[in-house]
Amino acid sequence: MPTNLRLRTLGDRSASAADRSATRPPSRSAGPEGQRTAPLSGGTVPGPSPSSADRSPRSADGGSDGPADRTVPAPGPGAELLDDLRRLIARYVILPNEQALDAVVLWTAATHLQDAFQHAPRLAILGPVKRCGKSRLLDVVTETVHRPVITVNASAAAIFRSITSRPPTLLVDEADTLFGSVKAAERNEDLRGLLNAGHQRNRPTLRIGGPEQKVMAFPTFAMAALAGIGDLPDTIMDRAIVVRMRRRAPGETVASFRTRRDVPELHALREQFTAWSADVMDEAARLEPHMPVEDRAADTWEPLIAVADLAGGHWPERARAACRSMTAAEEAQERETGLGTRLLADIRRAFTALGDPPALPTTRLIAALRDDPEAPWAEYGLNGLTPRGLQLLLRDHGISSSNIRFPDGNQAKGFTRNKFTDAWLRYCAEPPPADR
């Protein structure tokens, strides 16, 4: 076993929580005139406020995620463990960029602190084609996460029963077989619902069971990693740290991964994360780290940022840089390929191309959408976009067709332009020239 892996002794790992509390430096304690002790980092952080936001370092782009006079917290044991895990993952897998590698490291470490967090982010490991390293990355992650439960094609009922009050870490390979087609997605709707609900604590699923056929509540809260070809359902993607893998270029090399030879080192690191997480669990539960993003993205990234702040060193800065970069990349990806947003933008272009009439018949609007060679609507579904499909895609925006009498005197189902105005303002970043 490499000497740089710092294994705790059995006695250290079995120490009681009370003993740890007695020997641990007091958390969030204020020092004299603007100095407070930074637990687990071995240093002090200047500033009058005990808020965890004040522990944020200067951001990578020269800005600040917190007050401008904050210093980088000294690295503690957690930072060394994160560095070790980063080195091991990079040995076997080439990630698309440094930020993605940092995110995977932090997500893996966060699985050991699930009991402290309100949200359980998903890790979506996606590739456009086969042989992009998705399964290899999942292999390495599986051997280092907390209580792994791995499957290729499990039923929703089996997964329900795998999640207990002590959350495991779910790992699903070949997720495209579950959600990659309309029929597969319909068959696995219960699983999608479970993965959505399990992103937040206290969202159980109810089932009838037992000899007396009583209502039973099954916990759903657990972190989960899913690997597959193509995107996952939008609702899962919205709750995920998305890592978009790609094939290795000529000259890019990685070490082979052999279970018998390589897994013991990963398991040794897992044990160290288990011990470290026990030491910092209480502090993690109190943390409210300053976030560089908002809303659902903040919920999803908060556990990773919290792990980085607890570890100290360069990790708080790296975590926030990864958060900003990867969130922005997914927002750009959604604007480009998200069907809902793409449809709104294409409808606006269709209205513009047809002279911005106050209303269009549904048939004419669909014909314009399907005639666009750059759009996906001619191949959408089995036979291209249909009126029913259009209604379903627009339903979440509160837009529906109605009976309209057109200037030629004919009455038909259609859409008025003003029904789209609010959605265009909210979801389409760049209005067309005609709207300016």
Q: Under a CB-based contact definition with an 8 Å cutoff, are residues 34 and 48 in contact?
A: yes
To 10 degrees, the CA torsion angle through 317, 321, 322, 328?
Answer: 160
Q: Which residues pair with 29 in a beta bridge?
A: none
Tokens for 433, please give them: 């020239």
pLDDT in tens, the chain (436 residues): 443 444 333 334 334 333 433 333 333 333 333 333 333 333 333 333 333 333 333 333 433 444 434 566 778 899 999 999 999 999 999 999 999 999 999 999 999 999 999 999 999 999 988 889 999 999 999 999 999 999 887 777 888 788 888 899 999 999 988 887 778 888 888 889 999 999 999 998 888 877 888 898 889 999 999 999 988 988 899 999 999 999 888 889 999 999 999 999 999 999 999 999 999 999 999 999 999 999 999 999 999 999 999 999 999 999 999 999 999 998 877 765 667 788 998 999 999 999 999 999 999 999 999 998 888 899 887 889 999 999 988 987 889 999 999 998 899 999 999 999 988 988 776 544 444 4
Please state the separation of Cα 334 from the chain's center in Å: 14
The Cα-based distances of 238 to 199, 294, 300, 302 in angstroms read 10, 13, 9, 14
Residue 225, φ and ψ in degrees, nearest 5: -120, 135
Q: Under a CB-based contact definition with an 8 Å cutoff, are residues 103 and 109 in contact?
A: no
Helix ranges (H only) for 63-206 are 77-92, 98-110, 134-142, 156-162, 176-179, 182-187, 189-197
**What amino acid is encoded at 178 in this protein?**
L
- Spatial separation of the C-alpha atoms in residues 430 and 424, rounded to whole Å: 9
Q: Under a CB-based contact definition with an 8 Å cutoff, are residues 163 and 222 in contact?
A: yes
pTM, full prediction: 0.66
**What amino acid is encoded at 207 in this protein?**
R
Residue the block writes with tokens 């470490």? 109
Tokens for 211, please give them: 């000899």
Tokens for 267, please give them: 């398991």
- Spatial separation of the C-alpha atoms in residues 418 and 225, rounded to whole Å: 41
Which sign does the torsion angle of CA 147, 278, 105, 67 carry? positive
Provide DSSP, 17-66.
HHHHHHHSPPTT-B-TTSEEEETTTTEEEE-S---GGGG--B-TTS-BSS
Q: Which one-letter DSSP state was computed for residue 229?
A: E
Strand pairing class (359-361; 223-229):
unpaired
